[in-house]
A and B are shown apart, each in its own frame.
Chain A
Amino acid sequence: MTSASAGRDWTLADVPPPPRTASAVADPPWVRGLLIGVALLFLGLFLLLPLVTVFGQAFSKGIGVYLDAITDPMALAAMRLTLLVAAISVPVNAVFGVAAAWAIAKFEFRGKSLLITAIDLPFAVSPVVSGLIFVLLFGAQGLLGPWLTLHGVKIIFAIPGIVIATTFITFPFVAHELIPLMQEQGTEEEEAAVSLGASGFQIFRRVTLPNISLGLLYGIVLLNARAMGEFGAVSVVSGHIRGQTNTMPLHVEILYNEYQGAAAFAVASLLALLAVVTLVVKRVLEWRMGRASRAL
């Protein structure tokens, strides 16, 4: 040090070797170890352990009880209803989500920011409150109740109410997924298509839809998982009529409250399985989307 300041020309030998850690922001190994350890421990405790417990409890009284529980007519009715609800609300929300994302990403209009905020409303409100909103709207004492009763339409404590509540809860998923994607892609490809003579429908089918297909699929997977698993809002509007207005999550709760632990966990295990499948599909889609965006 002193020799350098004394004016001697420095040589390469004076230059210190680069530090062994490649990155300037790398933390010491023990910090990294600790962080990874904490994350894994947390994951194990709060995610893996419950999952294992669900399956453990489901099979605790043997495979016979498990099979009985999931083939019970009430359980089958609940599964049918859950599939029916998903079969309605998933396509409805997929179409709505694409339309909303299209409008928001590709057009400028008054009230756009209001629409963006409104889309997030179901995420911001507690599902129980969402359920109550529909009871207040369509219930016997509700705003539209007398009119509906007069015309013999039953929404609350019936399947329409469950479908409406589920659709409301799940409508942000697809739009949320697509808005940033479509904003990033812009409108140039659509403009190119129109200048080449394509009609509106041709542009949508041949240009827009293929460009958003992975994102749309991703949104639908999450949307479907939530539609099948929704409890709070559905619980409020369903009325818990066995064999008629019980969805799978509600059925699980009833069994559990009746001290049929093994049966409750057996049905729950099906929902858990759905979650695992959803995560795997989600991961695969993320991987493919990552590849698609890197390719640009």
Chain B
Amino acid sequence: MSIEARSITKSFGTFTALRAVNLEVKEGELVALLGPSGSGKTTLLRIVAGLEFADAGNVLFDGEDATERSARDRRVGFVFQHYALFRHMNVFENVAFGLRVRPRRERPSTREIRERVHELLRLVQLDGMSERLPSQLSGGQRQRVALARALAVRPRVLLLDEPFGALDSRVRKDLRRWLRQLHDELHITSVFVTHDQEEALELADRVVVMNQGRIEQVGTPEQVYHEPATRFVYEFLGDVNIFHERAEDSRHGGIYVRPHAVEITRRPIGDGAVSARVQRVHVAGPTVKVELVTEFGDLVQAEISQEQQRRLALTREDAVYVRPNESRVFSEDYSI
């Protein structure tokens, strides 16, 4: 099912969480809402779910206005950051909940419920754990139960609020890959909220970058990473250097360049090379990180390969030339 949010505005007291936000999610897509905390991404997700109501604007499911529909009638599967499992029910009962609360004439029989729950528990690889209480599970297992519970009612949309936020990084990576596979199998329209750019870029078909209650850019992971529309997107999606090629550049915002796109040479080559002094070299790790200061006083972080470092043999206080490859300039009207 497709989702559309039209000029959604929402404030909490004096704080404006969303300012006339428009968003479209196509049928079967996996979309990430990415942004720092307070950017409005969770609020937008909760408004789509019907857990929160917008001050203005509409939510449409398959082109049909669902703004006034309660969360109960939206048939939306919601997965919470802290799982929100029913603590007094075992895994089986948690997953069965959505089926058991249906009105009697729509409720599946006990046997159908049992089959459906076990099918879902197999899907999330927890079939042997149906008797356990949530407190007896690890974080990753709890989140999988939460997912099975949300899927039990055959939702038309799956919404996930920081689904991996409370997990440690290893479990998070495993679960992330597994969620992508699951989505590829089920093709259920899904939106997840995250503040982790790596997660958004790796998992989503499209990424929605949000900041201060507005959408900064919507695009594929490649688009938002390589062609950021705004300064904010550029800075939020990775480490960034701000670079001045001439002294008079300081009037402008400067050139934006990622550390891996900074070229370091012993001699000045080509246009735009600026002389710089090496401040620090970190060789440990897959790449070598070099900190430099340019002749115009900009602090620059560069990443070069171990092989380049063997060739250049950079050490502290070396005088070198740096040149940005793949840089971007943002016009002044984007400045904050």
Number of residues of chain A lying within 8 A (CB) of chain B = 18
Which residues of A have CB within 8 Å of B86? 189, 192-193, 206-207
- The verdict on B113 contacting chain A, using a C-beta distance below 8 Å, is no
A189 touches B51 (CB 8 A): no
**Could you tell me the distance in whole angstroms from the C-beta of B36 to the nearest C-beta in chain A?**
22
Alpha-carbon distance between A153 and B70 when the two chains are bound, in angstroms: 47
A197-B84 CB under 8 A given contacts A295-B135, A296-B135: no
Chain B proximity mask over A273-296: 1 for CB below 8 Å, otherwise 0: 000000000000000000000011
B88 is contacted by which of A194, A196, A198, A211 (Cβ under 8 Å)?
A211
B98 touches A196 (CB 8 A): yes
Which of B149-182 touch A at CB < 8 Å? 149-150, 152-153
Which residues of A have CB within 8 Å of B50? 195
A211 is contacted by which of B76, B87, B97, B101 (Cβ under 8 Å)?
B87
B87 touches A198 (CB 8 A): no
- The verdict on B293 contacting chain A, using a C-beta distance below 8 Å, is no
- The verdict on A260 contacting chain B, using a C-beta distance below 8 Å, is no
Chain A proximity mask over B62-106: 1 for CB below 8 Å, otherwise 0: 000000001111111110101011111000000001100110000
Task: Look across to chain B and name the residue whose beta carbon is closest to the beta carbon of A296.
Answer: B135
Count of inter-chain pairs, beta carbons less than 8 A:
68
- The verdict on A210 contacting chain B, using a C-beta distance below 8 Å, is yes
B101 touches A195 (CB 8 A): no
Task: Look across to chain A and name the residue whose beta carbon is closest to the beta carbon of B98.
Answer: A196
A193 touches B80 (CB 8 A): no
Task: Look across to chain B and name the residue whose beta carbon is closest to the beta carbon of A193.
Answer: B97
Alpha-carbon distance between A156 and B50 when the two chains are bound, in angstroms: 51
**Could you tell me the distance in whole angstroms from the C-beta of B29 to the nearest C-beta in chain A?**
20
A191 is contacted by which of B74, B78, B98 (Cβ under 8 Å)?
B78
A195-B88 CB under 8 A given contacts A188-B82, A202-B101, A296-B135: no
A195 touches B87 (CB 8 A): no
Which residues of B have CB within 8 Å of A199? 72, 101
Which of A159-206 touch B at CB < 8 Å? 188-189, 191-199, 202, 206
B101 is contacted by which of A189, A191, A198, A210 (Cβ under 8 Å)?
A198
Which residues of A have CB within 8 Å of B149? 192, 196
**Could you tell me the distance in whole angstroms from the C-beta of B146 to the nearest C-beta in chain A?**
8
A194 touches B98 (CB 8 A): no
Task: Look across to chain B and name the residue whose beta carbon is closest to the beta carbon of A294.
Answer: B135
Alpha-carbon distance between A196 and B50 when the two chains are bound, in angstroms: 12
B72 touches A198 (CB 8 A): yes
Alpha-carbon distance between A211 and B86 when the two chains are bound, in angstroms: 9
Task: Look across to chain B and name the residue whose beta carbon is closest to the beta carbon of A196.
Answer: B98
Alpha-carbon distance between A206 and B99 when the two chains are bound, in angstroms: 13
Which residues of A have CB within 8 Å of B60? none
- The verdict on B133 contacting chain A, using a C-beta distance below 8 Å, is yes
- The verdict on B49 contacting chain A, using a C-beta distance below 8 Å, is yes
Which residues of A have CB within 8 Å of B85? 189, 192
Alpha-carbon distance between A143 and B256 when the two chains are bound, in angstroms: 79
Alpha-carbon distance between A194 and B98 when the two chains are bound, in angstroms: 9
Alpha-carbon distance between A295 and B85 when the two chains are bound, in angstroms: 14
Alpha-carbon distance between A207 and B87 when the two chains are bound, in angstroms: 9
Alpha-carbon distance between A202 and B146 when the two chains are bound, in angstroms: 19
B71 touches A191 (CB 8 A): yes
B88 touches A197 (CB 8 A): no
Which residues of A have CB within 8 Å of B101? 193, 196-199, 202, 206
**Could you tell me the distance in whole angstroms from the C-beta of B46 to the nearest C-beta in chain A?**
9
Which residues of B have CB within 8 Å of A210? 88
**Could you tell me the distance in whole angstroms from the C-beta of A186 to the nearest C-beta in chain B?**
9
B80 touches A196 (CB 8 A): no
A192 touches B88 (CB 8 A): no
B80 is contacted by which of A188, A198, A207, A295 (Cβ under 8 Å)?
A188
Which of B27-69 touch A at CB < 8 Å? 49-51
Alpha-carbon distance between A202 and B72 when the two chains are bound, in angstroms: 12
Chain A proximity mask over B172-208: 1 for CB below 8 Å, otherwise 0: 0000000000000000000000000000000000000
Which residues of B have CB within 8 Å of A193? 86, 97, 101
Alpha-carbon distance between A96 and B107 when the two chains are bound, in angstroms: 33
Which residues of B have CB within 8 Å of A188? 80, 82, 84
Which residues of A have CB within 8 Å of B76? 195
Which residues of A have CB within 8 Å of B82? 188
Alpha-carbon distance between A210 and B70 when the two chains are bound, in angstroms: 24
Task: Look across to chain B and name the residue whose beta carbon is closest to the beta carbon of A185.
Answer: B87
Task: Look across to chain A and name the residue whose beta carbon is closest to the beta carbon of B159.
Answer: A195
Residues of B within 8 A of A (CB): 49-51, 70-78, 80, 82, 84-88, 97-98, 101-102, 133, 135, 146, 149-150, 152-153
- Counting from the closest, the 7 A-B pairs by CB-CB distance are A196-B98, A188-B84, A198-B101, A295-B135, A195-B78, A192-B84, A210-B88
With A191-B51, A195-B77, A206-B101 known, 20 other A-B pairs at CB within 8 A are A188-B80, A189-B85, A189-B87, A191-B71, A192-B80, A192-B86, A195-B50, A195-B72, A195-B74, A195-B150, A196-B98, A196-B149, A196-B150, A196-B152, A196-B153, A197-B75, A198-B72, A207-B86, A295-B133, A295-B135
A to B CB contacts below 8 Å, 10 in the list: A188-B80, A192-B86, A193-B97, A194-B71, A195-B50, A197-B72, A197-B102, A197-B153, A202-B101, A295-B135
